[in-house]
Amino acid sequence: MTIAVTQELSPALVLNADFRPLSYYPLSLWSWQDSIKAVFLDRVTILAEYDRAVRSPTYSMRLPSVVCLKTYVKPARHPAFTRFNVFLRDRFQCQYCGSPHELTFDHVVPRSRGGLTTWDNVVAACSPCNLRKGGLMPKAAGMIPQQKPYQPTVHDLHNNGRLFPPNHLHESWVDYLYWDSELDPE
């Protein structure tokens, strides 16, 4: 799975004041219009620019390709419980068979058996597995999730998001992405 990003739109990579992207998945991008507005409102510092420029009768400015916020935005400690974040936590794979297709979510302990719609009871599941499991408990269905459901941290989701890069990474962004990744010892 990739995010559609086109170079023609000239989006700007947005970094927090600590020079880390606000988000890896989806990658924190602003339209060129939003990035220019932020420059004029003195909310960001331009770190890199495109070769393209915008002009008015009295002013010309190259489009920002990387901007850094001047004020640090403290990330949420726990991400919102959304379908997308459940899929991201589970790496866009069915937790029963590993398929990336026809994803929905499944209550490990079915709602009919008192299961709640919470991080600790919901997993990504493909439609065929979800139908096969139905209202059965995991052991009765012979379907144990590959990973026990849990409430992820923002860091967990960022790490998983790095596995799904956008279809386009501008060369000026590369120096600012993944620099906080742990290096492999050689």
CATH number of 130's domain: 1.10.30.50
84-139 per-position pLDDT tens digit: 999 999 999 999 999 999 999 999 999 999 999 999 999 999 999 999 999 999 99
The answer to whether position 69 is within a domain reads yes
119 is in which domain, residue-wise? 83-141
- Supply the pLDDT for residue 22: 85
CA dist 158 and 160 (Å) reads 5
What are 144's two structure tokens?
């144990």
Q: What is the DSSP letter of 51?
A: E
Exposed, middle or buried by CB within 10 Å (0-12, 13-18, 19+), for 80?
exposed
The answer to whether position 71 is within a domain reads yes
The answer to whether position 184 is within a domain reads no
The answer to whether position 18 is within a domain reads yes
CA dist 39 and 63 (Å) reads 10
Q: How confident is the model at residue 9 (pLDDT cuts 50, 70, 90)?
A: confident
Please, where are the H alpha helices in 2-115? 32-40, 83-89
Number of domains observed in the structure of the chain: 2
- Supply the pLDDT for residue 103: 96
The answer to whether position 124 is within a domain reads yes
Q: Are 101 and 70 found together in one domain?
A: no
The answer to whether position 53 is within a domain reads yes
The answer to whether position 91 is within a domain reads yes
126-183 per-position pLDDT tens digit: 999 999 999 999 999 999 999 999 999 988 988 888 777 666 677 888 788 765 545 4
The answer to whether position 185 is within a domain reads no
